[in-house]
Amino acid sequence: MNARPVWNWTTTTVVLIDVFVYGIIEVNEKAQTITCLAWSTMTWKNEFLFWNPSNFCGIYTVAVPRKMLWHPDLLIHEDVSESGATLKAPYADVSAAGYVTGTNIRRLSATCPMNLYKFPFDVQTCTFSVSSLTYEGIHLEPLSNSSFLALISDKNMVTKGEWELTNLSVVQSKDINSSTKTVILYELTLARRPMLYVMNLILPLFYFLLLDIASFFIGNARGEKLAFKVTLLLSVSVLLLILQDMLPSTMDQLPLIALYSICIFSLMTISLLEAMLVSYLLDLDGSVSKTGAASSSSSAEAQTEDGCQKESGRGADRLEVRPEKEEKLSEGPGEALAMKMLLQELKITHQEMISNYRRDQNQSQTKPGYYLRLARTIDLVFFVLYLLSNTSFLIYMFFEWNYGL
């Protein structure tokens, strides 16, 4: 029978429908689809089929081949399943009052817009809308309430994988295109089990961050600190490549797991740059120390040679003064004044040489220590700021993952 089983065509056929979900096969975040196992039951009244059970040996129900009966043409609008994904029962149960019950089992693949902001601690809600495709005289109503659907679905759940069914609710609404055509909305709420992602992504990134903080206690002398930080940075980049295969590329809002990974990668990059700066300052201090030692030794040698030359010059002058003493005594007072002025100039020159030598000595003693103290100060201040920044960031991520929108 292809005609709607009513005596009067203006009579509306009320179809009672139930949809149970007993298996979550796959949730594809990139394609924004969900694949599940669904069991649907439809009940309607066939006005042409009825009998008195007392006249037929007390028979209240009869199994009739499906092809011999009219079935409502129902459609799930979000369905993107392939052909052959629906298994229809070959028989339908017909009661003595004329009510027909049909059952369908389908591997339902449907579109489901997902919000992955709190991934992997996210909860997804998928909506399935069921309506009649052709007939205007069909009125859909839910057979059972939401609590019963959720209880039966949870009790008969055959899959215990990544996703957990938390709720299945039903809402009846009218179609905006017709005043009589109705649509039944089923809201499927799924919660992700995050343990796998915590063990493979969140905890390794957290441990890498702890190792980066602990690397501040490694000495900068032999360059092992820089090599260690570069190794940690490469390890984080590998985890970012793994994360790229999980998250869709069309997300308008950056997921928290991506923010978590990017911030850790950025903090470790800044830490590596700081270690490079400290290493450069230490190398600069070592070069200055070598230069200062070499200049001090050369200054000491120069001063020793100058002193020896001056002493030898003074001895020669003394030797020359003695034989000519009588001639200088016979000279006038102008020449004696010139000798005094020359002696004063020699004393001033000698004092300047001594002061320059002492200043070089002081510079050679303070300059190497200056860069060393500067490197230690930068390292200490950055360690405190780095520790505070990481602690604040981890606290923010904890509250955002648990209490964020």
pTM: 0.70
What is residue 324's predicted lDDT score, i.e. its pLDDT? 46
pLDDT, mean of each 10-residue run, the chain (405 residues) = 81 89 89 90 90 89 89 88 79 92 90 88 91 80 89 87 90 68 89 90 92 86 80 89 75 82 92 88 69 53 50 47 44 67 78 69 57 84 93 92 76
Q: Which residues contact 290 (CB under 8 A, 6 or more apart)?
A: none
What is residue 315's predicted lDDT score, i.e. its pLDDT? 46
SS3 258: helix
- Domain limits of the chain? 13-193, 195-405
SS3 35: strand
What is residue 311's predicted lDDT score, i.e. its pLDDT? 47
The 10s digit of each residue's pLDDT in 258-306 is 889 999 999 999 999 998 888 888 777 666 565 555 555 555 454 555 5
What is residue 126's predicted lDDT score, i.e. its pLDDT? 93
Give the separation between CA 277 and CA 378, rounded to whole angstroms.
9
Q: Dihedral of the CA atoms 129, 132, 136, 137 (nearest 10)? A: -110
Q: Which residues contact 209 (CB under 8 A, 6 or more apart)?
A: 264, 267, 268, 390
Under CATH, what is the fold of the domain 13-193? Acetylcholine Binding Protein; Chain: A, (2.70.170)
What is residue 359's predicted lDDT score, i.e. its pLDDT? 64
Q: Which residues contact 188 (CB under 8 A, 6 or more apart)?
A: 21, 34, 36, 125, 126, 127, 128, 165, 167, 168
